[in-house]
Structures are given as C-alpha cells and as structure tokens.
C-alpha cells in the first residue's frame, strides 16, 4: 500500500469528496472551519474556502451538468446550522442557507436533479431544498438525524440515519402528493429498517444495485438492506434479482425490513461508509477504532483490515482508476479486479490516498 499524505487543515478533517467531472480534484472539510480543494496527483492545495462559521461536517459536489459553472459548485454544512454553496474556482459562496436550528451533519446533492439537495440535522429534521435555498419539504424525525443521501437511481428517493437506530427511506413524490410535510405534519417514510441497537450515522446507497443500501452505527456494525418489492415495479425487481450478485440474499428478504447482512468486526463506532463503484459486492467502512475494513458483502467476510490511521476514521471516498491517468497509481491488492484509489481522513488533519 502506498500513501500520499500532506498536512493542510489545522484540525480534524470530517469529510471529503471527489469532483464528479474531474476525479483528480478532491474537496475536504474540517473542524477548522475551512474547505480545501486538492489536486490529488501531487496533493497540492489549489484553494481554501473560508467564511463559513463553525465545524464543517459534510460536503457534496454538484453533479455533472451542461452548465459549466455548476460543475464547480460545492455544498458544505456546519455546526451552526448552515449550508453554503461555493464556487470553488473563485472561493466565493454563491448561496448561504440557514434552514436548521442546530448542527447540520450531512448534505447531499441529488445525483439526478442538479436543483435539489438534502441536509440532516441535530434539530431532528431533514430538509429537502433547492440550490436557490427554497425549502420544499421538512422531514421530522423522533431524534437527531445524522445521515442522508439521495438514491443514485431514482431522483425522488432518499435515505436517512437517525439517533433512534432506524434507517428510513422516503419518496418525495409521495410527499408531493400528500403535501403532509408542507403542512407541518410528520412525513411518513415509505419504509423503515429496524436492527441497529444504537444510533445510525452514515447511510449510503449502492451505486450498482438499485434499492440496496448500507448503514453504519454506534452498535459497531454495518447493516446491508434492500428496499422492498412493493416500492419498485415488478419488471425492475425481476431484472435486479436476475442480474445481481446478491440475488440469493435479496430474494429471501424482499418482503421484510430485516438486514440482508450484518457485518461485524469494528471495535468502536462506525462512521465512514463507501461502496465500490465497479464491484457490486464490495463495501468499505471506517471507524473510531482507527481501522478501514474491506468487506465482501455477499459472503459477509472482511477481506482486509487497514490500520495505518492511528485515530478515528471519519471519511472514505473511492475513485475508479480508469477515469484518471494510470501512470500516477499502483495497486497492491490481489483480490480486486479493478484498481481504485481510496482517500481517507482522520483527526490528525492529514489526508491519506491509499491504493488497495
């Protein structure tokens, strides 16, 4: 395994994200109230975004768009309840939003609709809003909402992770029809997954398997879930089962809210989660035990434990090598058929670019 490390932030780095239109560009957010933009082949810091108060917990790039300006836009969220949208070229915030009364832990840009974002907060709500700042829906939860993410397949589906240990899936199309979240009522999720015994932090959809998602928790486990058959068309479901490597698991779990798999091995709170973008059954996790674990979800086996961080691991991002110049990267892994670079963050305010 090789690393490129470079100090830049003065405090803990909480999140990071590769730019969709240029995977050589990486953004990081920190306790030091800054966002930094990096050129990963040299780990040179290209820009520092300053001006948003508080701890910056989360980041999300605008999806690739025909509008050239929007490809340089990045959303960040803070402990002060704010979400900023930045122009990363100029370093200037183009929009400042204060939709929450407590800390915002996660912000995610809709992969299929560049006008929509979602944020999760300590005020027990999840807000769906436009890039211009208009709140469309407020999803009220019984406790703090830590995780939120839009589905990569359907622009109306999103998942949340809550302190009550539950994972909830919402369909904003249903909210539009009922108008319940706009009237201030508690919006009803389309599905609720039960299983974690402590708070759920990150929730991430598989980029390859429609309806499959993973959640990490303070109960030291990662759980893999499948959206029920009643929530998708029959033809889509049949196609999913026939093509998926996880078909034996999915077919047995279509009609309940139990986890397909429970992955155990971490010895402290699980924080970072990311799916492999080429191998459907590979998932990576990072935790407060200072380790990164590479999982074969199909077999419920931990393939590898990386212990090079000596503190909590908060963020993980994977970028496929065929998108970037191949001479810059190597691989030391005999069991992966695709070469990927994995960037991780930990409280040492240091980035690690790992090749696995």
All residues at 6 or more sequence positions from 31 whose CB lies less than 8 Å from its CB, including other chains: 9, 11, 12, 13, 14, 55, 56
pLDDT at 246 over 70: no
Tokens representing 63 are 């999806």
Given strand 212-217, what is the order of strands in its sheet? 200-205, 212-217, 221-226, 261-264
308-327 mean pLDDT = 69
Q: Please tell me the distance from the alpha carbon of residue 273 to that of residue 101, in angstroms, as a whole number.
A: 27
Q: CA-to-CA distance for 356 and 353, rounded, in angstroms? A: 10
Q: Give 254: exposed, middle or buried? Use CB within 10 Å, 0-12, 13-18, 19+.
A: middle
Q: Which whole number is the average pLDDT over 83-95? A: 96
DSSP 236-287: HHHHHHHH-TTHHHHHHSTTS-S-SEEEE--SS-EEEEEE-SS-TTEEEEEE
Q: What pLDDT shows up at residue 345?
A: 58
Q: Which two tokens stand for residue 211?
A: 């309806």
Q: Please check the confidence at residue 277 and state whether its pLDDT lies above 70.
A: yes
Higher pLDDT, 12 or 252: 12
pLDDT score recorded for residue 334 = 29
Least confident range from 88-97, 128-137, 241-250: namely: 241-250
Domain at 5-355, CATH class: mainly beta
pLDDT at 319 over 80: no
Alpha-carbon distances, residue 3 vs 66, 273, 353 (angstroms): 34, 20, 5
- The structural domains of the chain, with segments of one domain joined by +, span 5-355
pLDDT recorded at residue 140 = 96
The answer, yes or no, to whether residue 255 has pLDDT greater than 80, is: no
Residue 247: pLDDT band with limits 50, 70, 90: low
| Residue 218 near residue 201, CB atoms below 8 Å | yes
Tell me what pLDDT residue 94 has. Answer: 96
Phi and psi at residue 37, in whole multiples of 5°? -110, 125
**Distance separating alpha carbons of residues 103 and 122, to the nearest angstrom:** 5
Provide, rounded to the nearest whole percent, the portion of the chain with pLDDT above 70. 75
| Spatial separation of the C-alpha atoms in residues 77 and 344, rounded to whole Å | 19
Is the pLDDT at 127 greater than 90? The verdict is yes
Read off the pLDDT of each residue in 7-22 and give the average, rounded to a whole number.
86
For the residues 52-71, what does the mean pLDDT come to? 86
Contact 207, 273 (CB under 8 A): no
Decide if pLDDT at 88 tops 50: yes
Interval 230-251 mean pLDDT: 47
Residue 78 burial (10 A CB sphere; 0-12, 13-18, 19+): buried
- Span 129-155, mean pLDDT? 96
Q: Which tops the pLDDT comparison, 56 or 255?
A: 56
Whether pLDDT at 278 is above 80: yes
Average pLDDT of every residue of the chain:
83
Q: Give the integer Cα–Cα distance in Å for 203 and 43.
A: 28
The pLDDT confidence band at residue 91, using thresholds 50, 70 and 90, is very high
* pLDDT score, position 10: 81
What would the mean pLDDT of 189-197 be, rounded to a whole number? Answer: 95
The answer to whether residue 330 scores a pLDDT higher than 80 is no
The residue-averaged pLDDT of 100-115 equals 96
pLDDT at 191: 95
pLDDT at 350 over 70: no
Whether residue 3 is predicted with pLDDT greater than 80 in this model: the reply is no
Residue 309 has which token pair? 């961080």
Residue 101 has pLDDT above 50, yes or no: yes
Task: Take residue 93 and report the two structure tokens written for it.
Answer: 């915030």
């Amino acid at each position: 395994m090789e690393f490129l490390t470079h100090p830049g932030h003065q405090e803990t780095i909480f999140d990071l994200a590769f730019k969709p239109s240029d995977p050589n560009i990486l953004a990081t957010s920190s306790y030091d109230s800054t966002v930094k933009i990096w050129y990963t082949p040299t780990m040179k810091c290209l820009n520092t975004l300053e001006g948003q108060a508080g701890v910056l917990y989360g980041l999300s790039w605008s999806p690739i768009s025909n509008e050239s300006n929007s490809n340089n836009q990045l959303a960040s969220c803070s402990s002060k309840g704010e979400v900023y949208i930045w122009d990363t070229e100029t370093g200037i915030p183009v929009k400042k939003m204060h939709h929450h009364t407590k800390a915002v832990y996660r912000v995610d840009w809709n992969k299929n609709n560049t006008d929509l974002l979602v944020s999760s907060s300590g005020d027990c709500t999840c807000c769906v809003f436009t890039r211009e700042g208009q709140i469309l829906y407020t999803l009220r939860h019984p406790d703090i909402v830590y995780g939120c993410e839009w589905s990569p397949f359907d622009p109306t589906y999103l998942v949340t992770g809550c302190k009550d240990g539950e994972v909830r899936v919402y369909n904003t199309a249903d909210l539009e029809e009922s108008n319940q979240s706009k009237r201030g009522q508690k919006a009803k999720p389309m599905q609720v997954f039960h299983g974690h015994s402590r708070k759920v932090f990150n929730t991430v959809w598989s980029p390859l398997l429609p309806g499959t998602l993973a959640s990490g928790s303070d109960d030291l486990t990662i759980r893999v879930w499948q959206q029920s058959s009643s929530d998708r068309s029959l033809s889509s479901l049949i196609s999913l089962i026939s093509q998926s490597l996880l078909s034996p698991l999915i077919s047995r779990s279509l009609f309940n809210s139990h986890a397909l798999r429970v992955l155990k091995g971490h010895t402290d709170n699980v924080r970072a989660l990311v799916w492999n973008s080429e191998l459907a059954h590979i998932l990576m996790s990072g935790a407060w035990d200072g380790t990164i674990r590479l999982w074969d979800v199909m077999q419920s086996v931990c393939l590898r434990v990386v212990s090079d961080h000596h503190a909590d691991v908060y963020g993980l991002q994977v970028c496929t090598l065929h998108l970037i110049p191949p001479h810059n990267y190597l691989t030391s892994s005999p069991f992966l058929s695709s070469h990927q670079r994995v960037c991780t963050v930990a409280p040492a305010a240091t980035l690690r670019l790992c090749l696995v």
